[in-house]
Chains A and B, each alone.
Chain A
Amino acid sequence: MTLQLDARIPAGPIEDKWENHKFSVRLVNPANKRKFKILIVGSGLAGASAAASLAELGYDVEVFTFHDSARRAHSIAAQGGINAAKNYKNDGDSVFRLFYDTVKGGDYRSREANVYRLAHESLNIIDQATAQGVPFAREYGGLLDNRSFGGAQVARTFYARGQTGQQLLLGAYQALARQVADGSVKLHTRVEMLDVVIKEGRAVGIVTRDLVSGQVSNHSGHAIVLATGGYSNVFFLSTNAMACNVSAIWRAHRKGAGFANPCFTQIHPTCIPASDEFQSKLTLMSESLRNDGRIWVPARPGDDRPSGQIPKEERDYFLERMYPAFGNLVPRDVASRAVKRIVDEGKGVGPLHNGVYLDFHDAIERERRNVIEERYDNLFEMYERITDEDPYEVPMRIYPAPHYTMGGLWVDYNLMTTVPGLYAIGEANFSDHGANRLGASALMQGLADGYFVLPMTIGDYLAEFLNQAPVPTDDPVFDEARAGVEDRVERFLATRGSRTVDWFHKELGKIMLEYCGMSRSEPGLNKALSEIPALYEEFRADLRVLGTAGGLNQTLERAGRVEDFFELSQAMCLDALRREESCGGHFREEFQSDDGEALRRDDEFSHVSVWEWTGDPGQPQLNIEPLTFEAVKPSTRSYK
């Protein structure tokens, strides 16, 4: 172990840690804040909320996004909602219960102190967003409405029809736009960060490429924040937006930032099954649908009758059967594995037998159609557009798909990575979800990090550099990083091979889904670890990128992202191989109970695995942060 993994968890009882910490961190006085330049990469929920809040405080902020506008980011696609322990429903919710549910939902692989803080800040997020004009759903009395969401027994999810992410992101984007107009934030759109610059062990800047002009440039700052999202697209087919990738955090990893729990990925149970080989992404059908939809398959394998002709007695409502207490609302990892098992038993439905039914018939009968319309109309419409089937008439077909990555850059309680001055927020870090993320808590985490945590904690690092100018961009460390970026771009163009980037990405995705997806085993992971380097060799020798570096070249952009996936995928498989237990989204076939449930091994694996770059993607160095639980005692998750 060579990384310094001091999580800097504050002392005191769990309820007081954050308050104590806020009191003990060093502050930067208001007049001095403008002397500090902060570079933020990414303007999704985490990045936009951080940028707006830091600029409001007076810091000098620059934001970079490869999207054409900060109004677009993967965050915009979040459908279901955002959790907050407001207890507006008077159903027994509290900060402690949200904290407890999140730690348990994460299968006891997250850091208690961080999760408690998250639950605590959830209250402020709803207030902030509402004040910004985010149009959350309301009841007839004009107050905010809530619903319950996968894995929770209280109704604490705030939502804006099926477009919660869109509305929250627009709120943060508008707050950011106000700062841009004010001159407090400089925003660079269609600009991709391609490397982090380090001097004497600290992060001092970034190297970017302007995607329209092709111009490579250096930027320097006192601190760098990565808010660049998750890496589910390593599987090629996932619910993530097409541009999601690992490059920003992977480049940081190569420069010394520890990468935590790369194998902790989440497979979402309710996605539309693939229809053909040309499929470019999978579409999520919000988890909220499980509140009203009932999941079933024909009891007899190979029963190909249309759904309407299969009588109730000949159906297997398997989640309700296996988990009577939670039924269709079991957490995502549990539901996904159950669906996979059923389909593997030959009970899959649809033309390719690759799905299970999610049926609204009973709900429509019970609640009337217009109530269901009100709740889910845009989702039903989306489903019909894609499949040409009307879910008001026939049940939806769903199947699990890669969706979210709990793993990411290791950060301490201040959200700083193992590289001083380099921060990671939102899905890009590993902090709060352990081995499995509960529904409606990614939006909460991204916004807690951006609005409320980072603006508090970043001053503690900056205070040390008062009246020191950032490292100039003509310093040799910048030249070196920039030369590396330019050489890489040239290398892609010069390879002149015969296969396209997408071809390689699809092949890599197939390996990853097969061996490092919903279910993993030692022989499978070893197979992946022998196939990936071979495919990567081929990528290096036989890639074809046409066009030039001097302008918009979308293939060139993707080449770099896919190359980074080749390295990341090896870390994921190694991490999955070494973690000889099943927990949350990580299911090792060797570690299951007689009835197929996950077997966690707390004695050996109650820790965060933090991987350190050694120069060889197949041989990273392992570091460990032990996890201790004081407020919530680990137990076997049971949803029966």
Chain B
Amino acid sequence: MNITLQIWRQDGPDRPGGFKVYEVDGISAEMSFLEMLDALNERLANQGDEPVAFDHDCREGICGACGVMIDGQAHGPQLGTATCQLHMRKFENGATITVEPWRAAGFPLIKDLVVDRSAFDRIIEAGGYITVDTGSAPDANLTPVPKPVADTAFDAAACIGCGACVAACPNGAANLFTAAKISHLNLLPQGQAERWTRTENMVEVMEEYFGSCTNHGECEKACPKSISIDFIAMMNSDYLRAKLKNRRLVAQ
């Protein structure tokens, strides 16, 4: 295949950025999108140009390191697919493909296609865990969890933290990411003790860094794990209840 790439190049957060156009020929349809970028980078290096920086690691859709906007879509055209799992057979021979970094106020740019997603870690640090010191756990089968509950918790826990939901959202909101973790833990019996403080704290840290959700639903479409926006509804209802409960607890 022969393709034309229009790639965002920017040396650093305070440096000017812009699109550069690269004609790439001899691309195999079997290549993944990132292997195509590898091939581009080999050619750039051979002709003395600095390769394009992009994040990646597992290349099998599980680590959440990769992620770019491809023709304006987070992770590109294939539903439920991370950039590293997208293959060139999904593109036409002769296509022009535009590649940009995630664009969101909560994800400052580092270089080229690499952004800083550490605000996600701040949200988790605010309460995305169950407090249980090593060694203090009871036998695992002491607390049965009905299978449907465990399965739904898993659906939420499948989030890979790539940031596509934020990048796809017109408001740059992180509600799907936050809701996924809150729902995973709030659904399980183990997560009940901290349910209300967790919800309140995580939502509030989320709001510090990210825009607000106005129910566009773009996040669900962009999510490589197809995490449902129903979890956002669950989070919202827990947040309202948390506000009341936490106030009542304080009043006591």
Contact = CB atoms under 8 A, between A and B. Distances in A.
B214 interface: no
B83 interface: no
A166 B159 CA distance: 10
Contacts of A551: 11-12, 111
B28 interface: yes
Contacts of B63: 72-73, 76-77, 241
A636 interface: no
A388 interface: yes
A25 interface: no
Interface string A450-494: 011001000000000000000000000000000000000000000
Interface size class on chain B is 35 or more
Given A127-B140, A144-B141, A167-B157, A386 B59 contact: no
Contact of A142 (B124, B139, B146, B191): B146
B97 interface: no
B38 interface: yes
A74 B132 contact: no
Given A135-B184, A142-B144, A72 B65 contact: yes
B45 A71 contact: no
Interface string B125-148: 110111111111111110111110
B157 A68 contact: no
A385 B139 CA distance: 39
B57 interface: yes
Interface stretch (B98-106, B114-122, B165-173, B237-245): B114-122
Given A76-B58, A385-B87, A552-B53, A127 B139 contact: yes
A163 B131 CA distance: 23
Contacts of A137: 150
A619 interface: no
B213 interface: no
B190 interface: yes
A139 B147 contact: yes
Q: What band does the interface of chain A fall in when counting residues whose beta carbon is under 8 Å from B?
A: 35 or more
Interface string B39-60: 1001001101111010111111
Given A71-B64, A166-B62, A276 B188 contact: no
B191 A133 contact: yes
Contacts of A546: 45, 48-51
B72 interface: no
Given A142-B147, A278-B35, A180 B125 contact: yes
Contacts of B81: 385
A57 to B, nearest CB: 8
A133 B57 contact: no
Given A70-B121, A132-B132, A243 B57 contact: yes
B76 interface: no
Contact of A174 (B87, B128, B136): B128
Interface string A31-57: 000000000000000000100110010
Nearest to A211: B110
B125 A177 contact: yes
Nearest to A165: B62
A633 interface: no
Contacts of A385: 61, 81, 85, 87
Contacts of A167: 154, 157
A97 interface: no
B232 interface: no
Most buried by B among A53, A77, A142: A142
A388 B89 contact: yes
Given A500-B45, A551-B11, A138 B59 contact: no
A498 B60 CA distance: 31
B181 to A, nearest CB: 8
Interface string A88-102: 100000000000000
Contacts of A71: 64, 120-121, 124, 161
A502 interface: yes
Nearest to A176: B129
A180 B124 CA distance: 10
A136 B145 CA distance: 10
Contacts of A498: 46
B179 interface: no
Nearest to A162: B62
B28 A278 contact: yes
Nearest to A547: B50
Nearest to B65: A72
Interface in A498-526: 498, 500, 502-503
A347 B137 CA distance: 52
B144 A143 contact: yes
A280 B59 contact: yes
A617 B18 CA distance: 45
A308 interface: no
Contacts of A70: 121
Contacts of A119: none
Interface string A57-83: 000000000011111111011000000
Contact of A68 (B116, B128, B129): B116
A342 interface: no
Contacts of A279: 35
Nearest to A145: B147
17 contacts: A52-B134, A68-B65, A76-B63, A124-B135, A131-B137, A131-B190, A138-B145, A140-B147, A160-B154, A181-B125, A276-B28, A385-B61, A546-B48, A546-B50, A552-B110, A552-B111, A555-B45
4 closest A-B pairs (Cβ-Cβ)?
Answer: A142-B144, A131-B137, A174-B129, A130-B140
Interface of B: 11-12, 28, 30-32, 34-35, 38-39, 42, 45-46, 48-51, 53, 55-65, 81, 85, 87, 89, 110-111, 114, 116-118, 120-121, 124-126, 128-141, 143-147, 150, 153-154, 157-158, 160-161, 184-185, 188, 190-191
Given A177-B125, A280-B34, A451-B135, 12 more contacts: A68-B65, A72-B65, A77-B58, A131-B138, A133-B184, A135-B153, A166-B160, A242-B58, A278-B28, A280-B38, A452-B134, A500-B45
